[in-house]
Chains A and B, each alone.
Chain A
Amino acid sequence: MPGTDQSRIFVASHSEFTKLHSREIQRILRERIILVHGCLLDYDYDWDLESFGRLYDVDRKTTVHGTV
């Protein structure tokens, strides 16, 4: 948090987060960022991301952030 030694990141488990009232979440978000771990993902997107080695911007219709 600005001007303090407290972490900017508020960490909660998924079960803890689901018990928080919406107003409490809003209050936290005014000053901190919430990290929720252990969210249940019930959908497999089946993206083959690990092996996707290279991408080519052949049509030049994208905006590239950063540099090579």
Chain B
Amino acid sequence: MDSVGSFFDPHNPELRHHQGTLREFYEITSTLSSEDCPPLNAISLPVHPRTLYIPCQFGSLASHEVAQSRVPPQYETTFGVSGVKSKMEWCLIGGRGAVSPFHMDSDGHGTALIVLKGGKYWILPTRLTDTDTLSSFESLGPGWNPYYVNEGENVNRFRFEAVHLQKGDML
């Protein structure tokens, strides 16, 4: 943390707000070498103060977010699948106030998450038809907007449920 700056919170002198680069932040949260690291993604970097006029309607909102998805080395050979490792391995970092637009993790492959610290507000869509085909970006149809999914004809196409995940919750 030596290379990461910090400043006082005027409303709470005991609190320090640290500032740093993604690289610095990643280095303090991962022991992996750069060669072994999955691709690093950042969600909506809150460089400037902003109002959440329209936080993404459908996606997630986390207090802070550091996530990493890994696949065991023997996974592809054990289950007789190939090409999933590149889709299922990723890193995600977001600072305070960062939001995720509507998205699909791991290109539609299954993902499990456990909240280790803080909280995460997660919204899940379900298509209002007999069969749920929300398994890929292509299944959403042309012209969909990840921030405004529930507009136009989509109003009658989806139902949404929200969960507030807290420490110790697994989804």
Contacts and interface: CB of A to CB of B under 8 A. Distances in A.
B140 interface: no
B23 A34 contact: no
Contacts of B7: 53
B4 to A, nearest CB: 8
B79 to A, nearest CB: 14
Interface string B132-171: 1000000000000000000000000000010101111111
Interface residues of B, number: 61
A9 B164 CA distance: 12
Given A7-B161, A48-B1, A49-B117, A62 B169 contact: no
A55 B44 contact: no
Nearest to A6: B126
A1 to B, nearest CB: 7
Contacts of B100: 65-66
B99 interface: yes
Nearest to A17: B170
B44 A54 contact: no
Contacts, number: 156
A22 interface: no
Main secondary structure of the interface of A (DSSP, over half): loop
Contacts of B17: 51-54
B170 A58 contact: no
A55 B95 contact: yes
Contact of B66 (A14, A38, A47, A50): A47
Contacts of B40: 61-63
A35 B114 CA distance: 10
B66 to A, nearest CB: 6
Interface of B: 1, 6-7, 15-23, 25, 28-29, 39-48, 50, 56, 63-64, 66, 93-96, 98-101, 103, 110, 114, 116-118, 124, 126-132, 161, 163, 165-171
24 contacts: A2-B129, A3-B128, A3-B129, A34-B171, A35-B165, A36-B170, A38-B168, A47-B29, A48-B1, A49-B118, A51-B18, A52-B17, A52-B95, A53-B95, A54-B96, A55-B47, A56-B20, A56-B22, A61-B40, A64-B42, A64-B45, A65-B101, A65-B103, A68-B48
